[in-house]
């Protein structure tokens, strides 16, 4: 949750809160970030930057936003249990729903009213105090001068900004400054390595299967503070194709958060703390949980989302769905290597506990050992088993614990998400 703080306070050490404060001016006078383009990527990048308290100027050549939005009701097929962030917010407002719901999203995607969608988006834009929108304006020239970009618009106004997001369909700015770039594909989730899960910034369906947007995809799209669409542009996604809206909005939101981070902290992308970046995105509802068998309505959704970002358990592909495998047992061999990287005391515990699969007793004993907890841990879990942890049945120490339960209690009582990682997802101790 954001807190209202004086902007002179130095924030970077506050890892327990999102990295931007809410504060100050009602209207932008000196933008720190500029967004160029009129599509869904530009929309979410500009809104996320403003929500992250970075003064943002959004420049559009056309007379209005989303010029390629269909004129009639349209359907968005797929993306089952992957909707999140501003895309989910949009669906819920279209459905007049108060809380995010995968079941409501599924129904709403069958018939989307473009006029109502546009009205909601316009309300969002007008409500953002840190966002200024300029239409019928183009960018004539940009020049890199030390740590800032000098920008001249077609109306002859000039600005100095820390970051620029080129979300234009033709990538007009990026193509002139950095032509001929090559990008890493957005991976199918089933093909990711364990460390990739720690760098997730978004999810969406492609070719009928879940795909994951990783920090690497955003980093490759950046050049000295100029951010482009990178692999998204290289894929040649047709802007009229409504099936790609979830991917475009998810990518744009991650793009806006990353560019806002470097602008706010006056830093470069190689210094970005991925955990802070993920925290900021999750603050605004981004769905970084890759498992499609965990609905957003699940009471442990947020807890399991952080567990998934810890990169401990690889999921399973079931048909077109990528799943945690909630009821599957947890084998020692699939977690031991990661646990040993996370905790110095882990190796000692496994030497004393040559188990095949974890029982509840084993799981609590392990958590207690590495986190220096005593007998109160078991008492707390017994007390909170149904009402707080939302588990069914009763606590039995000799019962084999499943992945859903294991991920929940590990995240609640040990919080592996707090462990530092580098930008490739390697654990740092």
Asked if 90 and 177 sit in the same domain, the reply is: yes
Positive or negative, the CA dihedral 246, 252, 253, 255 is positive
Asked if 257 and 328 sit in the same domain, the reply is: no
pLDDT in tens, 267-287: 999 999 999 999 999 999 999
CB 156: neighbour CB atoms within 10 A? Answer: 7
Asked if 87 and 147 sit in the same domain, the reply is: yes
Asked if 176 and 83 sit in the same domain, the reply is: yes
Asked if 124 and 257 sit in the same domain, the reply is: yes
Asked if 142 and 59 sit in the same domain, the reply is: yes
Residue 51: inside a domain, yes or no? yes
Structural domain harbouring 260: 33-183+220-283
Which of residues 240, 256, 283 is at a domain's end? 283
Residue 194: inside a domain, yes or no? no
Residue 218 and residue 281: Cα distance in Å, rounded?
A: 14
Which of residues 283, 311, 332 is at a domain's end? 283
Residue 386 and residue 45: Cα distance in Å, rounded?
A: 40
Structure-model confidence comparison of residues 267 and 374, the more confident one = 267
Residue 208: inside a domain, yes or no? no
Residue 197: inside a domain, yes or no? no
pLDDT of amino acid 4:
33
Asked if 147 and 266 sit in the same domain, the reply is: yes
pLDDT of amino acid 375:
86
Asked if 357 and 275 sit in the same domain, the reply is: no
CB 75: neighbour CB atoms within 10 A? Answer: 11
Residue 7: inside a domain, yes or no? no
Asked if 278 and 142 sit in the same domain, the reply is: yes
Residue with the two structure tokens 């909170």: 384
Residue 139: inside a domain, yes or no? yes
For the chain, helix, strand, coil in percent to 5 are 40, 15, 45
Asked if 307 and 272 sit in the same domain, the reply is: no
Asked if 106 and 141 sit in the same domain, the reply is: yes
- Record the pTM: 0.91
Residues contacting 46, CB < 8 A, separation 6+: 35, 56, 58, 131, 133, 165, 256
CB 329: neighbour CB atoms within 10 A? Answer: 15
* Token representation of residue 162: 């820390």
**Hey, is 260 helix, strand or coil?**
helix
Asked if 226 and 178 sit in the same domain, the reply is: yes
* Token representation of residue 217: 């995809």
Residue 213: inside a domain, yes or no? no
Sheet with 56-59: strands ordered across: 131-134, 56-59, 33-36, 163-166, 226-227, 222-223
Q: State yes or no: pLDDT of 56 exceeds 80.
A: yes
pLDDT in tens, 299-327: 999 999 999 999 999 999 999 999 999 99
Residue 296: inside a domain, yes or no? no
Which of residues 254, 283, 312 is at a domain's end? 283
* CATH code (residue 123): 3.50.50.60
Q: State yes or no: pLDDT of 132 exceeds 90.
A: yes
How many domains does the chain divide into?
2
């Amino acid at each position: 949750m954001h807190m209202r703080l004086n902007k002179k306070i130095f924030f970077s050490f506050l890892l327990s809160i999102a990295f931007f404060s809410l504060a100050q001016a009602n209207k932008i006078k000196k933008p720190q970030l500029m967004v160029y383009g009129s599509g869904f990527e530009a929309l979410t990048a500009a809104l996320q930057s403003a929500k992250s308290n970075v003064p943002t100027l959004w420049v559009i050549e056309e007379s209005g936003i989303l010029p390629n939005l269909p004129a009639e009701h349209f359907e968005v097929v797929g993306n089952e249990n992957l909707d999140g962030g501003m895309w989910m917010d949009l669906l819920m407002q279209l459905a007049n729903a108060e809380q995010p719901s995968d079941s409501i999203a599924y129904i709403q995607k069958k018939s989307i009213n473009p006029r109502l969608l546009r009205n909601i988006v316009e309300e969002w834009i007008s409500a953002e105090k840190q966002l200024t929108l300029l239409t019928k304006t183009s960018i004539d020239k940009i020049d890199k001068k030390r740590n800032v970009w000098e920008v001249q618009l077609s109306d002859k106004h000039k600005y100095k900004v820390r970051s620029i997001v080129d979300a234009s369909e033709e990538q007009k700015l990026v193509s002139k400054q950095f032509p001929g770039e090559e990008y890493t594909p957005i991976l199918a989730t089933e093909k990711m390595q364990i460390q990739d899960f720690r760098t997730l910034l978004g999810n969406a369906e492609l070719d009928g299967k879940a795909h994951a947007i990783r920090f690497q995809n955003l980093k490759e799209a950046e050049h000295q503070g100029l951010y482009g669409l990178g692999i998204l542009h290289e894929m040649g996604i047709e802007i009229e194709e409504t099936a790609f809206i979830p991917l475009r909005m998810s990518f744009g939101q991650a793009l806006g958060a990353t560019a806002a981070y470097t602008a706010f902290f006056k830093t470069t992308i190689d210094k970005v703390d991925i955990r802070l970046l993920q925290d900021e995105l999750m603050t605004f509802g981004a769905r970084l949980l890759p498992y499609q068998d965990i609905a957003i309505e699940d009471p442990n959704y947020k807890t399991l989302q952080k567990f998934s970002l810890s990169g401990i358990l690889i999921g399973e592909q079931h048909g077109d769905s990528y799943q945690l495998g909630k009821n599957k047992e947890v084998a020692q061999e699939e977690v031991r290597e990661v646990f040993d990287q996370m905790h110095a005391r882990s190796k000692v515990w496994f030497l004393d506990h040559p188990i095949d699969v974890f029982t509840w007793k084993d799981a609590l004993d392990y958590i207690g050992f590495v986190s220096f907890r005593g007998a109160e841990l078991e008492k707390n879990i017994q007390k909170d088993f149904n009402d707080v942890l939302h588990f069914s049945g009763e606590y039995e120490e000799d019962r084999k614990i499943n992945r859903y339960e294991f991920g929940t209690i590990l995240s609640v009582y040990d919080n592996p998400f707090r462990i530092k990682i580098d930008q490739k997802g390697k654990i740092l101790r």
